[in-house]
Amino acid sequence: MTIYINQCQHYLPNDPVDNSLLAERFGLNADWVSLFLGNRSRYFTTDLKTGEIKNSLADIATQAAQKAMEIEQIGCEDLDFIVMATATPDQLMPATVNLVAEKLGAANIATFQLQSGCTGAMQAVSMARALLLSGEYRRGLIIGADVCTKFIDPLKDYSQSEANEQINFALFGDGAGAMIMSTQATGLRWKLTQFECHYTGLDLPPGQIVNWRGLRDSDDTMLMEDYKAIEKHVPGLAAEILDSLSTQTAGEVDWYLPPQLSGRMTHNIIRHLGLKDDQVISCVHETGNNGNALPFVQLSHLQDRIEDNQTALLIAIESSKWLKSGLVLEQEAI
């Protein structure tokens, strides 16, 4: 049985936040953000000036889903399941995927929400693939979305914060992506030919921590990025996936969608992998690191460039507890 990606769309909330606006709000240096992170802009669900929360995770996920469904010209009755991946759910219960189902007007549909970081989108594709291969489901909606809103305090003065706190705001963004997958060669006709998604089991401490609080206050670290560990290990893990998927792929790969950590880190990974710039599709320098949305944003840019019979290889690495993942797709000719 062949599994197809039929549509892939994304939604970025509100106006882009450029480095000068970001720098002003968080006490950063705009030139430093450009140089050190290599990001030019990002999108936030919270208005940085007023602190107003303009969109929930469910809102932006629904927007992306509606775009994908509209282009595929399908309604909720044509969907058998929804799989959503996020690290930052609106609430712990109900799972946000059910709020998205409600907003879309779905009923009696299988819903799943994966708690995951950067490889969450690939885990969601993996699950969708298994659901379709099982023969019991015909078509599904796959969503990857994140908001960092709950980690920004609109009333706080960040100008005196420590650099490792400030950097989180410079690195991250909010966004959502949505795919339609099925066993039918409609829409984009992207045939999924290779797939991998693994916890590596590397004996390393977490490279990234995102924590939550209930009713108890806690001294636990709430946000942590170990940039040195990430810079050290992610290129090698990306190379492992590239190697593993390339050797299984007949013929040349035409397009590469590498891991999106920050503009600069992604640039370094591209060099490490020896990829040519004109074959690479990246987005993080413009979208910020919006976690589970990133692969969807890259794949939605891919559709403007890929041609029939061409192949694309996507790699996503999660440094939280060191997961690696990737896929190869081919655009089937009509």
Residues binding its own copies (CB under 8 A) = 87-89, 91-95, 97-99, 101-102, 105-117, 123, 126-127, 129-131, 133-137, 148-154, 197-201, 206, 208-218, 222-223, 318, 320-321, 323
Rounded to whole angstroms, the Cα distance separating 149 from 146 reads 9
Nearer to its own copies, 23 or 323 (CB): 323
Please report how close the Cβ of residue 288 comes to its own copies at its closest, in angstroms.
17
Please report how close the Cβ of residue 73 comes to its own copies at its closest, in angstroms.
22
Crossing angle for the helix pair 120-133 and 294-302, nearest 10 degrees? 70
Rounded to whole angstroms, the Cα distance separating 147 from 177 reads 12
How many CB atoms are closer than 10 A to CB 204?
A: 14
Nearer to its own copies, 237 or 299 (CB): 237
Nearer to its own copies, 64 or 82 (CB): 82
Please report how close the Cβ of residue 33 comes to its own copies at its closest, in angstroms.
20
- Segments in 137-208 forming alpha helices (H): 163-171
Nearer to its own copies, 69 or 101 (CB): 101
The total number of residues written for the chain in this structure = 334
Nearer to its own copies, 179 or 281 (CB): 179
Rounded to whole angstroms, the Cα distance separating 144 from 130 reads 17
Q: Which of 126, 87, 178 is nearest to 324 (CA)?
A: 126
Please report how close the Cβ of residue 301 comes to its own copies at its closest, in angstroms.
25
Q: Is residue 193 a contact partner of residue 330, using CB atoms and an 8 Å limit?
A: yes
Please report how close the Cβ of residue 102 comes to its own copies at its closest, in angstroms.
7
Please report how close the Cβ of residue 96 comes to its own copies at its closest, in angstroms.
8
Nearer to its own copies, 74 or 99 (CB): 99
Token pair for residue 85?
């991946």
DSSP string computed for 12-53: --SS-EEHHHHHHHHT--HHHIIIII---EE--SB-TTT--B
